[in-house]
Chains A and B, each alone.
Chain A
Amino acid sequence: MRDLLSVSASATQSYKRALNAVQTNISNLNTEGYSRQKVSITSTGASHTTLTRAHDSFAEGALRSANSSLEFEQPGTDYARRLLNLVGSDSGSLTTAFDQFFSSAKQLAANPSSASSRQDFLSNAGYLAARVNAVASELQEISADNNAEVEHRINQLNGFSSQLAVVNEELADFSGANVPPALLDKRDLVLMKMSGLAKIDVTISEKGLASVSLASPNGSVALVRNTESKTLHVSPVTGEKNMQQIKYIGGAGVSADLTTVTGGSIGGLLSAKSSIIDPLVSKLNGMTQTLATRLNEQHAQGMSSLGVVGANMFSLGSDTNYAENFTLALTSSDQIAAAGRLKIAPGASNSENLRATLSYGENASWAGTVEGSFTITFSSPTAYSVTTGGVTTNYTGFDINNGIVIGDVKVNFDRAPAASDTFAVTSNTSGIGDNSNITRISEISEESIFESKKLRDFYINEIGKVSSFNNLSKMSAEAKQAVYDNALTAKDKISGVNLDEEAADLIRLQQAYMATAKAMQTASDIFQQLLRIGI
């Protein structure tokens, strides 16, 4: 009789405990990081219960690693999208400013003496500089945003490290068997959050204490070891705009550089910076430098309507942030050197239809002043003399393919000159209708001087690099999302709470509880019956 009563009493206790676990599961349905609790009842006699946390450390580890990989991709697509919308949209793209600049140069070439065409060209040159400046400063802003986000995430990581150290401290107080499940849930949740920020290596001690280290190409860096946590901090690189370095404060307060953090959103941010933002900034600077240098060089080979050689069209500033400092140096439309700086006149009695043209840039050290006038006289088809400043020098071995080079100038002939042909070269101060230099300027758009590409193609190619990075990140993110979903399902299969299952458990346990209670009542009835018989 005693048996029936005690067995039933112990069973009701067990079922009550099991029901309690169901209740806990239901009420924690939406708790982040919660693992389902199970009560298993063993032994047939006086029943024995054990509360277990439905958990698989491999599933947990796989999910952490999938989380690091997935979070790594997000910043790449975010920043690529921002860059694309900045440099690739119809309104934002620099190609519009390039087109307008070269288009106004061509219009000026069609009417070089027109004051309105000159003014138009000057305004478009100013617009070009302003657009390049605007894009450059937007890029710097994006770069600064990336830096600020890295710093913010590093601070979050530091926060989690110290939280984990606290959890470890509490875990140390318990002996293995009776660790409260909630504490382990808390530990795993912090580890999951850390894995979202960076790729981490986790080791769990026998007592459940978690140690975390960052996998870095220059060795592993311990962030949390038992109850101790280390911090990372971010410091700017001196002398470089929007560049920063992550430092790790070691044991003795010595800081060491961390070349890079891989995985997680911090790794993703750093990768976006080094793969697309920084290269774009430097390509834009390089492009601006080449463009300004080439335009200035060509402009110097022309003659302005003021009768002086073309001054610098653009200035680049003193540091290497060319795109930000790119400014129009010309202040008035009279300074535009549309004409060639010299003119050539064939002698009146030259052999018919012979044309001579001038080109410049033969002498790299040419000082930018107009050469004195000179006259070329052919004494035979292969011999000629050059008269300048009253001094005549004779030359032989004329070759039409080489033309005649005098200082920085080259005289080209369209056919072989005959004896007694003369050509007079003089300063082109009144050549306001001459469009030869502005035509050359307008043709710079077709020159493949930007890393062997034309200006427009170079620029679009740079957009293309960002675009393919974006496409790759997107594809990669989709693949990693699938891996993450799988890992999540695997973990959830074990640790997640299913309401229907809990409802079924509830009914099952409730019925068992009722049955055992009934058994207790039966025991009592039997006892009463025995008493009655005994009397």
Chain B
Amino acid sequence: MRISTNLYFSTLNQRLAEQQNEIANLQTQLASGKKAATASMDSEAAMAGLRMNSILQEQSDHKFSLQGADNRLRQEESLVAAMQKISDRIQELSITAASDTYSAEDRKMIASEVAQYKEQLLSYANGQDESGNYMFSGGASRTKPFVLNADGSVTYSGDQTAINFDIGGGEKIRVNSIGSNVIGNITRTNADASTTQITAFDIIDDLVTALNGNNQTNISRAMTEAESLSSSLVKKQVELGISQNRISNRLDIIEEKTILYKDILSKTVDTDYTEAITKLSANMLALEAAQSTFAKVSQLSLFDYI
């Protein structure tokens, strides 16, 4: 078949340019470490990369929430544990004081110790986190939850709002306890068998009065009430422990997911060096062959022989 000199050269040129293009592409891959230096070079990889980056960001957000939740729950737990110690001590003292061997004077001495615990309990119940938020005041985190009134009574000023953290997978975890529930839900059975809700502060106040007044019935009553307070605080700690356990399980899952997604991301967007280098040397060989044959073949012309 006839082939014109022009077409012959332009075809050869085109092939050489294609080879060079391929080599430049591979070189960019090797230099940038990415399969697609620009999104248009490999749009599928770029899209998968965006998706993976987004998912990784989500994992790191959940991790942040979980660590925040864990932090809060630990602080809460330590405060609740401290309150429980006070409650245990009050129970212990009321058992001691209830003993017939104690005189009225002895009971007054115990009363002075019990009275001191009120202030300590108040400071635990008004505990704050590192940013100054009250732990037990619900959503009103800048409002002091337990206020000591002039008459010695304590009122709860926080609200009942539950605070939940989103920890991924549609799961939410409650991170706050309402102060009035933690130390305010003790049931007192009155003499007429009716019941009223009292707070830990009421137990202390009434025990102090009973000790000072040498009222053995009420001292025994405080014993039961302190016991029920202790057990409710223990229950709270168990609840907090379960939540912390959930958090640590979640963190493990997130850790695994993160490693998995990072691996997928790397496989999608990062250059496979072995593959790229092998391809590059193959292409370079082909280009060299094309160049040397081009140089030789293009010298062939009948005009050289005329």
Contacts and interface: CB of A to CB of B under 8 A. Distances in A.
**Bound pair: A and B?**
yes
25 contacts: A29-B5, A87-B39, A88-B50, A92-B39, A93-B50, A96-B53, A99-B54, A103-B61, A109-B166, A110-B65, A111-B68, A343-B161, A344-B160, A357-B162, A428-B139, A433-B133, A433-B134, A433-B140, A434-B139, A464-B43, A495-B4, A496-B2, A496-B5, A498-B3, A503-B303
B137 A84 contact: no
Interface in B193-221: 197
Contact of A85 (B39, B57, B302): B39
Interface in B137-178: 137-143, 159-166, 176
Given A428-B139, A499-B303, A506-B306, A433 B163 contact: yes
A500 interface: yes
B116 to A, nearest CB: 28
Given A88-B39, A89-B46, A493-B2, A348 B197 contact: yes
Interface string B37-51: 011100110110111
B46 A433 contact: no
Contacts of A90: 46, 49-50, 53
Contacts of B162: 355, 357
A82 to B, nearest CB: 8
Contacts of A98: 54
B161 A85 contact: no
A463 B161 contact: no
Given A493-B3, A496-B6, A343 B160 contact: yes
A460 interface: yes
Q: Chain A: interface residue count, which band?
A: 35 or more
Contacts of A96: 53
Given A442-B166, A496-B4, A497-B4, A89 B39 contact: yes
B302 A504 contact: yes
Contact of A430 (B51, B140, B176, B303): B140
Of A82, A433, A434, A436, the most chain B CB neighbours within 10 A belong to A433
Instruction: Please name the 3 residue pairs, one residue from A and one from B, whose CB atoms are nearest each other, closest first.
Output: A496-B4, A433-B141, A434-B139
B46 A30 contact: no
Interface in A337-372: 339-340, 343-346, 348-349, 355, 357
A430 B46 CA distance: 46
B3 A492 contact: yes
A488 B301 CA distance: 23
A95 B5 CA distance: 53
Contacts of A355: 162
A432 interface: yes
Contact of B197 (A349, A357, A497, A500): A349
B7 interface: yes
A30 B166 contact: no
Given A90-B53, A496-B4, A504-B302, A467 B163 contact: no
B161 A431 contact: yes
Contact of B61 (A81, A106, A111, A503): A106
Q: Is the interface of A mostly helix, strand, loop or mixed?
A: helix
A345 B159 contact: yes
Contacts of B301: 499-500, 503
A113 B133 contact: yes
A466 B54 CA distance: 20
Nearest to B39: A88
Interface in B116-140: 131, 133-134, 137-140
A107 interface: yes
A114 interface: yes
A207 B43 CA distance: 53
Interface string B248-259: 000000000000
A495 B180 CA distance: 99
Interface string A38-81: 00000000000000000000000000000000000000000011
Given A85-B40, A433-B161, A492-B7, 20 more contacts: A30-B6, A81-B40, A84-B46, A88-B46, A106-B65, A107-B64, A110-B68, A345-B160, A348-B197, A428-B139, A432-B141, A433-B133, A434-B161, A435-B165, A463-B50, A466-B43, A488-B7, A489-B7, A496-B4, A500-B302
B69 interface: yes
A185 to B, nearest CB: 14
A169 interface: no
Interface in A351-396: 355, 357
Contacts of A230: none
A507 interface: yes
